[in-house]
Chains A and B, each alone.
Chain A
Amino acid sequence: MDHLDQLEAQSIYIFREAFARLKKIALLWSLGKDSNVMIWLARKAFFGRMPFPALHVDTGKKFPEMYRFRDHYGKEWDLDLRVEPCPPIDAVDPTLPPAARSAARKTEGLKMALGKYGFDGLIAGIRRDEEATRAKERVFSPRGLEGNWDVRDQPPEFWDHFNASPPQGAHLRIHPILHWTEADIWAYTKRENIPIIPLYLSQNGKRYRSLGDQDITNPVVSTASTIDEILVELEQTKVPERAGRALDHETEDAFERLRVAGYL
């Protein structure tokens, strides 16, 4: 088994545990490279078809290429796609810096979707290497009744035994690719020939390393126009993956405040 085989086997194990132990789960499909890999892994875990909904919490501000991707592959992959809108920006905590406030709006949209469907588990494509706060995450991560994350009171998790009993009304976040890196995602995408949104590839000397809302995501300088070139670029860069995400840089603790409130 090579490195990618090991990552894949571990993720499949996590998917099957989530499906076996929770009552009503959904996969959060952000349309980005990570959640596309997740859907692929879910189809591997369940032999072709993902047996739970793909939930897209839509800010309405994604790139047109992303919407086209969603509509095309939602059908081709036979997904049970649920698109849920976010509330207007006025409904969100005005003390947050602008980009964080915009992201917090997505968190509100997510809470509304949770209330609507009553999911007890949400599968999210976060990775430990993305951002220091995410490194603290568990694979099965309990959320409070308000969807909040209590970083100080996380249950122990070891030997692939997961805490899968959220209190009544609360839910779990499940992180099947927590142990992957950005380079792993690309190497696997290439090996499995998973479709991607072309915005990740360089055009006119720039490309997106991470795709969020149009107004708060910026491309990075890059000449990588194939996945192979992206992998070479990642070998050499010291620039963080989320450098193009405005909200990570507003204040030292903006990201953590968002996560505690239930942001992905």
Chain B
Amino acid sequence: MNMIVTPASPATPNGTTRPQVRIVIVGHVDHGKSTLVGRLLHETGSLPDGKLEMLKAVSARRGMPFEWSFLLDALQTERDQGITIDTTQIRFRTNSRDIVLIDAPGHAEFLRNMITGASQADGAVLIIDALEGVRDQTRRHGYLLHLLGVKQVAIVVNKMDRVDFSAERFKEISDEISAHLQSLGVTPTAVIPISARDGDGVAMRTDRIGWYKGPTVVEALDQLEPARPLEALALRLPVQAIYKFDDRRIVAGRIESGSLIAGDEIVIMPAGKIARIKTVESWPATPIAGRQGAGRSVGITLDRELFIERGDIVAHTGSAPRETRRLRARIFWLHDKPLAKGDQLLVRCGPKESRATVVAIEKAVDPGELSSVENKAIGRNHVGEIDISLSNPIATDPYTENPRTGRLVIEVSGRIAGGGLVLSVDAGQRAEPVDIVPVESALRLDERSARYRHNGAVVWLTGLPASGKSTLAKALERRLFTNGGSPILLDGDTLRAGLNSDLGFSAADRSENIRRLAEVATHLARNGHIAIVAAVSPAREDRATARRIADTAFREIHVATPAGVCEERDPKGHYKKARAGALASFTGIGNDYEAPQAAELVIDTSTRTVAEAVDEIEQMLKTSGVLFDEVVDLAANI
């Protein structure tokens, strides 16, 4: 139905667009939502010509007295059942606002529809029958408004005519609901006594409610503020897709918060890869200059080719979201089958999806009940706090830091079954340090170094596949052993066969693979061994992580054999397979390899023999204090 009408007053004097505010009217079934809506439309002059007369005629034909709520009961099924069953959107105007009114059903059966409606609202009107008072669905809706993030809530105490416009009864209800909402952190913007049927308090303060001095419903709606884009927060651009329709590689998504501009240094989470925004693409004109803020759907190109996938989050370096495999959320549950510990789910956080398991359930309650009896499972239309463990790492924020990225939905069998707010990330992922008491070695470091004639170290060989890392690693191992040292070779592929057999080749798994290699190598180095790691480790960020872990023991060697030579060698046949398209995620034929910028040593194996290369490594280990050069040095350590 088209309900755009002449405004009660002209558009704002300065000619700007009138603010549009979306509101939802919620509350217990039969407390008078539809009546209030019908009345509001009438009072604001928003009814289409003939609509009222048409409905009055329909009522007469059916032998029923006219009710304001008939206006909304546009569906025959609703009239048959006597309940409004879904969200419907109607527009009208107050003095300074364009109001989009989303009616939401009060019947418990249709809570999913109430949520669908209320999630789109900037503000809400919670309606309470003066005779019945606060009921379970009143409390439930109040709680859900809080969970859905609707902060502007006006309370309307309806059917005041049924309690003789009693100021005492009004105060009783007003106090009860205000206390309930304030316990959830919601302060009502107004509490208004009305009779929707007769019109008191809707647009006029009548004599019958002469004791009431606050705003009317129309005045309260006129004070609501439209939602504002979250430009002041840190940049969050969840990636919807990567498009390669032409020679551009466009990372597309909507900016949920913050802003960006070409030239910004950004980080792709959860992988942590760094790049710079080259252009902001658009159509018909492209590229576009200027800063793009929250709310915009954009496309950006980067200054380098990185592996990015749907669900990643583009952020600014220094203010990136947290990467986690575990989080705690406060959720509402809409599925018939209660949510229990151990349940397998699909979690969506923006465009990112991950399989998940419910690890723990806390505070499962029916928000409609006054006494909060805690349950072990979260029943339909109930709420609770859950810990979930995710099979893929995701990047997210607690909702207190970012209301857009700090929320998630849960799917069961391809259908949305619940949703909620991220309370904290990483909950319980790492055991509390107090629980971990590493057992110290019985040997002192100087006892080991005296025998091996070297200190512990992590020698990290990075480079393209077939650049000669493994060959060099084995030759170095032999040389050190021959000299009485204790070298230990850690090859990327060897660890993948065992310790890292749970990891694949996604960006996140590659990062985890590197982290584990670094942890194992560092443990060996701390015990006096020289851990020789041979791993492509293409991501600069991942190697930076390894260096952080190994700290001063880290020695990075870039095996910088030219790419053409590597592909020609191809001892494992990987390049050939990759060129044939049979090997996904292969580093080498793309530009995925990020060369080190400050390696301790750079070696091109195409211009020297293996022995010469090992000489160079040995020299570097000497000058950097790993190998003891002279017997004098050795003596100094005894």
Proximity bits, A232-256, B CB within 8 Å = 1, else 0: 0011111111000000000011001
User: Least Cβ distance of B328 to chain A in Å?
Assistant: 18
Provide the bound-state CA to CA distance between A213 and B407, in Å.
Answer: 45
A152 within 8 A of B: yes
Q: Is the beta-carbon distance between B4 and A234 smaller than 8 angstroms?
A: yes
User: Least Cβ distance of A256 to chain B in Å?
Assistant: 6
Q: Is the beta-carbon distance between A20 and B240 smaller than 8 angstroms?
A: yes
Q: Is the beta-carbon distance between A138 and B116 smaller than 8 angstroms?
A: yes
Residues of A within 8 A of B85 (CB): 151-152
Q: Which residues of chain B (213-230) have a CB below 8 Å from chain A?
A: 229
Residues of B within 8 A of A132 (CB): 1, 74-75, 88
B414 within 8 A of A: yes
Q: Is the beta-carbon distance between B91 and A154 smaller than 8 angstroms?
A: no
Provide the bound-state CA to CA distance between A43 and B295, in Å.
Answer: 19
Residues of A within 8 A of B76 (CB): 252-253, 256
B533 within 8 A of A: no
Give the top 7 A-B pairs by smallest Cβ distance, nearest first.
A165-B414, A132-B74, A158-B119, A156-B112, A12-B297, A135-B88, A238-B49
Residues of A within 8 A of B254 (CB): 9, 12-13
Q: Is the beta-carbon distance between A240 and B91 smaller than 8 angstroms?
A: no
A181 within 8 A of B: yes
Q: Is the beta-carbon distance between B297 and A16 smaller than 8 angstroms?
A: yes
Given the known interface contacts A1-B295, A136-B88, A235-B4, the answer about A161 and B241 at a Cβ–Cβ threshold of 8 Å is no
Residues of A within 8 A of B88 (CB): 128, 132, 135-136
Residue of B nearest to A165 (CB): B414
B166 within 8 A of A: no
Residues of A within 8 A of B119 (CB): 158-159
Proximity bits, B83-120, A CB within 8 Å = 1, else 0: 00111111100000000000000000000110110011
Residue in B20, B77, B297 whose CB lies within 8 Å of A9: B297
Residue in B7, B74, B87, B240 whose CB lies within 8 Å of A133: B74
Provide the bound-state CA to CA distance between A46 and B252, in Å.
Answer: 9
User: Least Cβ distance of B117 to chain A in Å?
Assistant: 9
Q: Is the beta-carbon distance between A181 and B241 smaller than 8 angstroms?
A: no
Provide the bound-state CA to CA distance between A183 and B282, in Å.
Answer: 25
Q: Which residues of chain B (34-49) have a CB below 8 Å from chain A?
A: 47-49
Proximity bits, A169-187, B CB within 8 Å = 1, else 0: 0000000000001110000
Given the known interface contacts A156-B115, A256-B76, the answer about A161 and B295 at a Cβ–Cβ threshold of 8 Å is no
Q: Is the beta-carbon distance between A20 and B310 smaller than 8 angstroms?
A: yes
A sample of 10 cross-chain residue pairs with beta-carbon separation below 8 angstroms, ordered by A number, consists of A8-B297, A9-B254, A45-B297, A46-B245, A48-B245, A48-B284, A158-B416, A161-B419, A163-B416, A235-B4
User: Least Cβ distance of A184 to chain B in Å?
Assistant: 10
Q: Is the beta-carbon distance between A163 and B2 smaller than 8 angstroms?
A: no
Residues of A within 8 A of B282 (CB): 44, 47
Residues of A within 8 A of B113 (CB): 154, 156
A144 within 8 A of B: no
Q: Is the beta-carbon distance between A181 and B240 smaller than 8 angstroms?
A: no
User: Least Cβ distance of A77 to chain B in Å?
Assistant: 12
Residues of B within 8 A of A90 (CB): none
Given the known interface contacts A17-B240, A155-B112, the answer about A239 and B296 at a Cβ–Cβ threshold of 8 Å is no
Residues of B within 8 A of A241 (CB): 2
Q: Is the beta-carbon distance between A157 and B75 smaller than 8 angstroms?
A: no
Residue in B2, B5, B87, B112 whose CB lies within 8 Å of A182: B2
B483 within 8 A of A: no
Proximity bits, B113-134, A CB within 8 Å = 1, else 0: 1011001100000000000000
Q: Is the beta-carbon distance between B283 and A44 smaller than 8 angstroms?
A: yes
Provide the bound-state CA to CA distance between A165 and B112, in Å.
Answer: 18
Residues of B within 8 A of A235 (CB): 4, 6-7
Proximity bits, B1-26, A CB within 8 Å = 1, else 0: 11111110000000001001000000
Provide the bound-state CA to CA distance between A5 and B284, in Å.
Answer: 15
Interface residues of B (CB under 8 A from A): 1-7, 17, 20, 47-49, 58, 74-77, 85-91, 112-113, 115-116, 119-120, 148, 229, 240-241, 243, 245, 248, 250, 252-254, 281-284, 286, 293, 295-297, 299, 310, 334, 348, 351, 407, 409, 411, 414-416, 419
A95 within 8 A of B: no
Provide the bound-state CA to CA distance between A72 and B91, in Å.
Answer: 37
Given the known interface contacts A158-B148, A165-B414, the answer about A128 and B89 at a Cβ–Cβ threshold of 8 Å is yes
Residue of A nearest to B414 (CB): A165
Q: Is the beta-carbon distance between A46 and B243 smaller than 8 angstroms?
A: yes
A3 within 8 A of B: yes
Residues of B within 8 A of A236 (CB): 6
Residue in A47, A129, A159 whose CB lies within 8 Å of B299: A47
Q: Is the beta-carbon distance between B2 and A9 smaller than 8 angstroms?
A: no
Residues of A within 8 A of B281 (CB): 47
Provide the bound-state CA to CA distance between A138 and B88, in Å.
Answer: 11
A69 within 8 A of B: no
Given the known interface contacts A13-B240, A181-B91, the answer about A47 and B74 at a Cβ–Cβ threshold of 8 Å is no
Provide the bound-state CA to CA distance between A24 and B90, in Å.
Answer: 33
Provide the bound-state CA to CA distance between A12 and B298, in Å.
Answer: 9
A19 within 8 A of B: yes
Q: Is the beta-carbon distance between A155 and B293 smaller than 8 angstroms?
A: no
A131 within 8 A of B: yes
Provide the bound-state CA to CA distance between A128 and B117, in Å.
Answer: 13
Residues of A within 8 A of B415 (CB): 155, 163, 165
Residues of B within 8 A of A44 (CB): 282-283
Q: Which residues of chain A (17-55) have a CB below 8 Å from chain B?
A: 17, 19-20, 43-49, 51
Given the known interface contacts A1-B293, A235-B6, the answer about A47 and B286 at a Cβ–Cβ threshold of 8 Å is yes
Residues of A within 8 A of B296 (CB): 1, 5, 9
Most chain A CB neighbours (cut-off 10 Å) among B74, B243, B334: B74
Q: Which residues of chain A (100-157) have a CB below 8 Å from chain B?
A: 128-133, 135-136, 138, 151-152, 154-157
Given the known interface contacts A17-B240, A159-B409, the answer about A136 and B86 at a Cβ–Cβ threshold of 8 Å is yes
10 extra interface residue pairs, beta carbon distance < 8 Å, beyond A129-B91, A132-B74, A241-B2? A9-B254, A16-B240, A128-B88, A132-B75, A135-B87, A135-B88, A165-B411, A237-B4, A238-B2, A240-B2
Most chain B CB neighbours (cut-off 10 Å) among A44, A135, A165: A135
Q: Is the beta-carbon distance between B297 and A239 smaller than 8 angstroms?
A: no
Provide the bound-state CA to CA distance between A105 and B252, in Å.
Answer: 39
Provide the bound-state CA to CA distance between A209 and B611, in Å.
Answer: 84
Most chain A CB neighbours (cut-off 10 Å) among B85, B88, B293: B88
A204 within 8 A of B: no
Q: Is the beta-carbon distance between A156 and B334 smaller than 8 angstroms?
A: yes
Q: Is the beta-carbon distance between A3 and B17 smaller than 8 angstroms?
A: yes
Residues of A within 8 A of B416 (CB): 155-158, 161, 163
User: Least Cβ distance of A263 to chain B in Å?
Assistant: 15
Provide the bound-state CA to CA distance between A241 and B348, in Å.
Answer: 38
Provide the bound-state CA to CA distance between A156 and B115, in Å.
Answer: 7
Residues of A within 8 A of B419 (CB): 156, 158-159, 161
Provide the bound-state CA to CA distance between A252 and B76, in Å.
Answer: 8
Provide the bound-state CA to CA distance between A45 and B20, in Å.
Answer: 25
Provide the bound-state CA to CA distance between A181 and B120, in Å.
Answer: 16
Provide the bound-state CA to CA distance between A181 and B5, in Å.
Answer: 13
A2 within 8 A of B: yes
Proximity bits, A56-68, B CB within 8 Å = 1, else 0: 0000000000000
